[in-house]
Structure formats: structure tokens, C-alpha cells
Structure 1
Amino acid sequence: MDENTLLRALFAAAVDAALPKRIVPPFVPDRVPGRLVVVGAGKASAAMAAAVEARYDGPMTGLVVTRYDHAVPCRHVEIVEAAHPVPDAAGAEGARRMLDLLHGLGEDDVVLALISGGGSALLTLMAEGMDLDDAVTLNKALLASGAGIDAMNCIRRHLSQTAGGRLAAAAHPARLIALAISDVPGDDLLNIASGPTVGDPTTLADARALVARHALDLPPHMLAALDDAANESVKPGDPRLARAEAHLIAAPLASLEAAAAVARRSGLRAEIQGDALEGEARELGAAFAELALQRQKAMTPGDAPLVLISGGETTVTLPRDGRDLGDGGRNVDFLMGLAQRLDGAPGIWALAGDTDGVDGLAEVAGAIVTPDTVARSGREALETALRRFDGHGYFRALGDQVITGPTLTNVNDFRAILVLPG
């Protein structure tokens, strides 16, 4: 297959390895003595609920919140669609109803919590005294701050009625089984959807320190909430978590390994560079361009092509100088940084995309860089797109976008760089 088709096949293999219909059924319990209640949030939660319904032989009720256009038909579990990454009223109301659904459960009941990436925004119910406008203000500030996922979720957990173990605490004394699809570097359950089912060792003081470190411009009443002991998250060892368990059922590394297997069956050498890479997207792109050039220089004409595969979650820090910004995302920003550094080097192709099919705010997974990307666009167009953070506009004009539609899973970003002998 040609280079473009090969890269798309690797991306498809990574997504396929994390599809709920494959990974959920082995974790669905047999008939439970009491009620089975299904709750959850995230871009994969509706597809996960459908997989539960296909496997479980008994009555159930439930409610999950997923992103708009990510619903999957279910017979027993109600699917609520809401906004992501900036929360809306549908998500807040869904979170409130979910807590009501958990109220009054008994020891014979079982709660199956389906958690995946995107849950932080989709399950946003702010602490008492705050409303949806506050949720929007917080999320916009976090998304523009350049803060890493650890920092963002620590702050979220201390301004929430569901995050930081609160969903599991609400289900007590029922048994709770959480099934999580990881979209975060390190696969820390505390960071997947801001940890609604696990204890949180971080504190309000930690959250206040992170707000100061990243110079977040939050309103006074939100800062006051981070001083209120009532907003402390649920800690590990809390008795309300005694019957809660969590299982990581899909993670980025497994998807990277699935892609590497496809590459090797196609006669390529494949190296996984890491599943938890972080940093500024365009800077990481330039660093990977350097690595690709170095590997190409060391190759001989008879060597098999090499593919460098990686995952993780990079950061795009938006400027605050009032400039006109375009339509961007971390994967296309990575690719622009890579293309700029490669500057038309022959024999190197790359694909970067979000496994949920959405990069930034665009309904586009990512894009492909070819050896003639810069030649086709012109250097000035690339420089302008970098300055305006307009990666989707740049690759749209070239016809090199990767558009999958909603994949109904999410194991973070996927990057593959194909290097042919020089």
C-alpha cells in the first residue's frame, strides 16, 4: 500500500483496539442480587453502555452522558448528549440526575460506572453556590492556560459535585465497579474524567497553588470556593469507597502496539517511542522531525522502512496578545511543527490524530504530512498558520485532513512517522 494508505491503516488499527464492543464484555458482571445501575460519562460512554446491554442477562437501569453526535441506541440505559470541551446545561442536568439515580441504593445493588475521556466536561456539576456560567469560565481558563492534565484536573476536582471520588461516594453502600478507558498520560484513574470513582490525595491547597502558578483569572467567588473545606475531595481510604473498584480496560499503549503489529506485518520496522508524551505540541513535532532525520541518515538503501509510533497528550498554549486565532488542535499543531522542521525532506511522511475523531474543537481527527507539504502550501502559508494556530485551516486547504467521524472511543493522541531510506 502507498504511504498515505499505510498511515491511515495504522491509525485505524489503534482505534479498533480500543472499541467498547471489544473491550467491555469481559468485565460485565453476571446477574447481581439487587439492581444493576449503569452510569457514566465520556465520549465512549454510550458505546460502552450498548456493550453492557449486549452482554448482561438481566434487568438494568441507568444514565450516561456523552458528547453530541456520540449517542448509541440503548434499550435500558438513557443516553444524554452534552457539549465538550466547554460544558453546557445538558451535561450539568445529566450529572444532577445521575446523582439522584444513585441515591438510596442498598448493599445488594451494583453500580457499573463507565468512564472515558471527555468526562470532565460532560459531567460538570459545579460545587454548591456555582452555576453553569462558572463551569464555562473555568473550562475556558483551563483550556487556554497551557496547564497539564494533572493540574487542570486537580482544580476541577475541587470545584465539582461528581469528580474526585464523589460519584462513588454517592453510590455507597452499593458495590461500584468502574470500567475506564484511558485518554491520559500515565493512565492514572484519577485523571480520567477527573476521577469520579477513585479517592483523590490532592487537596484544596494544591488546587490554589496551581491556580496561582498558571495565573488563572478566576472570579473571586470561585477562588473563595477553593478555600472552603466543604469542597475538599473524597480521600483514599474513605469508608464510602470501601466497596468501589476500578478496572482500566483500554489504554494508549495497547493501541500503539496494535498499530505496530500492522506495520510489522506490512514489512516495516516499528518503534514505539512512548505512550505518555507531553509538552508543547509544535515543539514536540520539531523534536520528532529531528529524530526522523537522524534515523534516516543512519539507514542504508537496503533497510526496511521505519515507523516511529507515539501517543500522549501535548499542550497548545494560546497567546494572550489579542491576535486573530484560527481553527487549531494539538495534533495539527504537532504536524505543523514537524513540517516546518522537515522543510520538504524527502522520504518522510507523518500522521497525527486524536483517537476520538476530534482534534481541538474541530470534527476532524488530525492530518497527514507528506514530503511535499511545505512545497504545496508555500512557507509563508505555514508560517501564517503557525502564528494563528490555524492547523485545521492549513491542512484543509491542502486536502490532507484525517476525518473519521466519532469513533466512540478515546485513548488519546496517535502519531506515526514513516521514514524511508534516503
Structure 2
Amino acid sequence: MSHAAVADAIFRSAVAAVQPQHLIPKQVQVQPDGLLIAGRFFRLQPDSRVFVTGAGKASAAMAQALEARGIPWALQGLIITKYEHALPLQHIRVAEAGHPVPDHNGVEATRQMLQLLESVTAKDLVIFLLSGGASALLADYPPGSSLADVQALFDLLLKSGAGIHEMNTVRKHISAVKGGQLAARVYPAPLCSLILSDVVGDDLDVIGSGPTVPDRSTFADTMAVLEKYHLTQQVPASIQQHLQKGLQNLVPDTPKPGHTSFHHTFNCLVGTNSIALEAAARYAETQGYHTTLLSSTVTGNAHTLAQALAQQAIRWAGPRPACLLMGGESTVTVTGQGLGGRNQQLALAAGITIQPYPHITILSAGTDGTDGPTDAAGAVVDAGIMQQAADLGLDPVAYLENNDAYHFFATAGGLIKTGPTQTNVMDIMLALIS
């Protein structure tokens, strides 16, 4: 097996470890008079109902795993997932919608979800299945604005280089469901969220813009983000007006810690990047590699992280063969007109650096199977792939500057394509040193 193939297999082992079919059964047990969820008992009456709602790229798989637990109470619900991520369910409806930019289907599905939750009573139980992608899939827009305005803002944020904490601060303050506001709608019924984290640090109020979690951010924080990335004058006027009303207390802020709405709300983290990294390390060790976990919380510019990982590999003085692992999420400020994503951009930047080092292989890929607006999860690169590119007359620096890593790797080889993985715990980056 080539080093690139080994790197691919290590990545796929990480993805397999965070599949909902493995994670959900550990957290949900059926008992005669209720459900035990993440160690907390929810007592149910014979006529109680269980409402299952959720949003995210993994929500269909989470719902499927939950249905498989054989819950005997009346089960109904609606989850929203990304296009081509739906799975067959018996009791829970599935809606597909746009990601990473929200669309009309997301708005309509969110409306239907909220309508469904209007019938919830205090003797029922609501289970919310949350995973990465929910910020776009759970879609709405402020009064006086439009879907097109929100789409324009999402697009600005995605290309700005802002981190996920910053983007979701903004997203929470142009929504009536994010930032804990869904919990407020469900109260006083008990609400339990099962959450897969796609956020560095696993901050519950950031994952999927925290629809069931108290929000620590404010309208002032939102304006600070827009100013930091010089977006203030580019934001649609209707959105600007809404944010200004928030600053003037004419629009209520998101509910904060201690708010009454959260008295019956419980949030449980069921899947993380660390779980995926640990599985990757175990698999690499079975292949004879000495593994080192560098970090599960890397953030920052993709080019900077690429150089850091490449230099670690170049300077490696430990036992060989070695596998260096890290997880997290990079960012890219898009200035070119090409096609790609943060993982492909990172891999290409690393490839330029390791071209003279044939003993090094680097991979960067998203556990959700999607990197940017492409059909690839990321890319793997080594000196052989870079030489193949040179033989084909490709200029890697030009492709990098044009944010066109997808077409570089599509031509030279190295794209990682998994299809929808039904999970989402950020990115896996690794270096193999032979």
C-alpha cells in the first residue's frame, strides 16, 4: 500500500469512529418508565410523546440510530440535513436543504419544525439532534429582511476568513431559532440535545449556532465581527437595520445563561474530533507507525497550519515510520476565482513545501466528506504527486493563489472523495514520515 493510500485509510478510520450508529446507543437507553439519556433520566407517562427534531449533516444518521433504540412511546419529528444526506426513517420526517448557504427549503423546513413543536406539552420530551451544518440548515431571517439578504451575509462571512466562533456570533443574531431561542420555544417541556461537535474547543453555544444553548454573545459582539473583517458596509441594509435595533435594545438579544428557558434543557456532547483522532492513532499503530497527537484544537490560516505541519515532519527526529496527527479547522480568505476548500488549500500549501522530501506524505480532509463547495473531503499530497503536477505543466503556486486547489489535485491526483459521511467533527490533518 502506498503512503498516500495509508494516509487515506487512517483518515477513514477516524471517520468510522464517529458514526452516529456507534455514538447514539452509548447515550440512549430505554427503561420501563422513561428514557435514560447521557446519564439523565427522563420519566415519561404512557401518553407522553417523544418529539425528535434536529439539524446538521449528521442529523439523519443520528435520527436513524435513535429510531433503532426501539423507543416505545409515540415518536414523531422532523430533522433537516444537507442535500444527498437523507436516510430512510420510520417515524421522523427528513427534509433536505442548502449548505453552506441557506435556501428556501431550509426556511420552509424550519417553519414546519417550529409549527410541530407548538404542540409540545410539559409531559412530552423533545430530543434535538445537532451537528455541524445546522447554522445554514436551520434557516430563517429577521423581520424586514429576506432570504436573499441572509444568503448574501452568509457568503460574505464564508469568504472573509472569519473563524466559526465569529461567524456563528453573527448568525445567531439574525435568527429567531439560533442562540438558545429554540429552547425558549420548547419550554416548559423537557429538552435534551445530543450534539456532535464541529467546533474547536467543543463550545456548545457555538456548535450549529447553539439553538438549545444559552448564548454568551451579544449584538455588540456581532458588530465587532463585521467591523473586524471590514464587512459593515457590505452587509445588506435590512440586516444592518436589524442589528442596529438590537444595539438599541429594540430587538431582544438571545437568551443568556440563567434564563428560565433553560431550566428543563440538557445538552450532551456525544461526538468530538478527539474521538476521531484517537481512532486514527490506533489504526496507524496497527500499520506499524509511531503516532504523535500534536493537537485536537488547531485553528488559523490554512497556509500557516500547512507550514507548521510540514516543518514538523521535515524536522522530525523521533522514531520512524511516524504518523503526526492533528485536528481542528483552518480558515481561508478567498481572493481567487478557483474552486477548492480549506483542506485542499492546506494540502496544496504543504505540498509545495514538502516537494523536496520524498519520505513525507501529508493529508488534510473534513470528516463530513465535504470541503468547500466541492465533492471532495480534502486531499493527500507527497513529492510524487507534486512531480506529476510538474510533468503536466501545473504551477502549484498559481493554483494556490487562485484558490483553485481542487483543479490542481483533480489533474495531478490526490483528491480524497468519500461522499457524505453522515458525521461531522471538523478536520483531520496528518503527516506520515517513512
Q: Same fold (TM over 0.5)?
A: yes
| TM-score normalised by structure 1 residue count | 0.95
Letter of the aligned partner of 2:214 in structure 1?
A: G
Letter of the aligned partner of 1:327 in structure 2?
A: L
Aligned-pair CA distance for 1:241: 1.1
Please give the alpha-carbon distance, in whole angstroms, between the structure 1 residues aligned to 2:223 and 2:146: 20
Q: Is 2:377 aligned against 1:360?
A: no
Please give the alpha-carbon distance, in whole angstroms, between the structure 2 residues aligned to 1:56 and 1:194: 30
Please give the alpha-carbon distance, in whole angstroms, between the structure 2 residues aligned to 1:93 and 1:43: 17
Letter of the aligned partner of 2:149 in structure 1?
A: D
Please give the alpha-carbon distance, in whole angstroms, between the structure 2 residues aligned to 1:40 and 1:87: 16
Question: Which among 38, 54, 62 is matched to residue 77 of structure 2?
Answer: 62
Please give the alpha-carbon distance, in whole angstroms, between the structure 1 residues aligned to 2:143 and 2:49: 30
SS at match of 1:304: coil
The more displaced of 380-389 and 240-249 is 380-389
Aligned-pair CA distance for 1:291: 1.1
Please give the alpha-carbon distance, in whole angstroms, between the structure 2 residues aligned to 1:39 and 1:27: 17
Aligned-pair CA distance for 1:104: 3.6
Letter of the aligned partner of 2:384 in structure 1?
A: D
| TM-score normalised by structure 2 residue count | 0.92
Q: Deviations over 1:210-268 (max 9, x none)?
A: 11111111022211211223241111111111100000000001100110011112221
Please give the alpha-carbon distance, in whole angstroms, between the structure 2 residues aligned to 1:4 and 1:258: 18
Please give the alpha-carbon distance, in whole angstroms, between the structure 2 residues aligned to 1:183 and 1:56: 28
Moved over 6 A (4+): none
Letter of the aligned partner of 2:85 in structure 1?
A: H
Aligned to 1:37: 51
Aligned to 2:361: 349
Map residues 48-197 of structure 1 onto 2, 5 A cutoff.
48-58=62-72, 59-197=74-212
In structure 2, the CA distance between the partners of 1:35 and 1:29, relative to structure 1 (3 Å rule), is farther
Aligned-pair CA distance for 1:288: 1.2
Aligned to 2:387: 375
Please give the alpha-carbon distance, in whole angstroms, between the structure 2 residues aligned to 1:279 and 1:314: 5
Question: Which among 43, 48, 60 is matched to residue 46 of structure 1?
Answer: 60
Aligned-pair CA distance for 1:24: 0.9
The more displaced of 180-189 and 209-218 is 209-218
Would the aligned equivalents of 2:385 and 2:413 in 1 still touch at CA under 8 Å? no
Aligned-pair CA distance for 1:326: 1.1
Would the aligned equivalents of 1:158 and 1:231 in 2 still touch at CA under 8 Å? no
Please give the alpha-carbon distance, in whole angstroms, between the structure 2 residues aligned to 1:387 and 1:5: 27
Q: Is 2:6 aligned against 1:6?
A: yes
Question: Which among 264, 269, 273 is matched to residue 248 of structure 1?
Answer: 269
Q: Is 2:428 aligned against 1:400?
A: no
Aligned-pair CA distance for 1:117: 0.4
Please give the alpha-carbon distance, in whole angstroms, between the structure 2 residues aligned to 1:418 and 1:18: 22
Aligned to 2:41: none
Letter of the aligned partner of 2:360 in structure 1?
A: I
Aligned-pair CA distance for 1:162: 1.0
Would the aligned equivalents of 1:277 and 1:311 in 2 still touch at CA under 8 Å? yes
Aligned to 2:22: 22
Paired residue total: 411
Please give the alpha-carbon distance, in whole angstroms, between the structure 1 residues aligned to 2:164 and 2:269: 18
SS at match of 1:185: coil
Aligned to 1:315: 331
RMSD: 1.3
Please give the alpha-carbon distance, in whole angstroms, between the structure 1 residues aligned to 2:141 and 2:28: 31
Aligned to 2:344: 332
Please give the alpha-carbon distance, in whole angstroms, between the structure 1 residues aligned to 2:135 and 2:148: 16
Please give the alpha-carbon distance, in whole angstroms, between the structure 1 residues aligned to 2:236 and 2:363: 40
Unaligned 5+ segments in structure 1 are none
The more displaced of 203-212 and 81-90 is 203-212
Would the aligned equivalents of 1:286 and 1:340 in 2 still touch at CA under 8 Å? no
Would the aligned equivalents of 1:344 and 1:372 in 2 still touch at CA under 8 Å? no
Aligned to 1:221: 238
Please give the alpha-carbon distance, in whole angstroms, between the structure 2 residues aligned to 1:207 and 1:416: 34
Letter of the aligned partner of 1:12 in structure 2?
A: R
Would the aligned equivalents of 1:284 and 1:337 in 2 still touch at CA under 8 Å? no
Please give the alpha-carbon distance, in whole angstroms, between the structure 2 residues aligned to 1:56 and 1:95: 26
Aligned to 2:288: 267
Aligned-pair CA distance for 1:135: 1.6
SS at match of 1:226: helix
Letter of the aligned partner of 1:232 in structure 2?
A: D
Letter of the aligned partner of 1:248 in structure 2?
A: L
Aligned to 1:257: 278
In structure 2, the CA distance between the partners of 1:344 and 1:307, relative to structure 1 (3 Å rule), is same
Aligned to 2:39: none
The more displaced of 212-221 and 390-399 is 212-221
In structure 2, the CA distance between the partners of 1:177 and 1:56, relative to structure 1 (3 Å rule), is farther
Aligned to 1:200: 215
Please give the alpha-carbon distance, in whole angstroms, between the structure 2 residues aligned to 1:234 and 1:97: 23
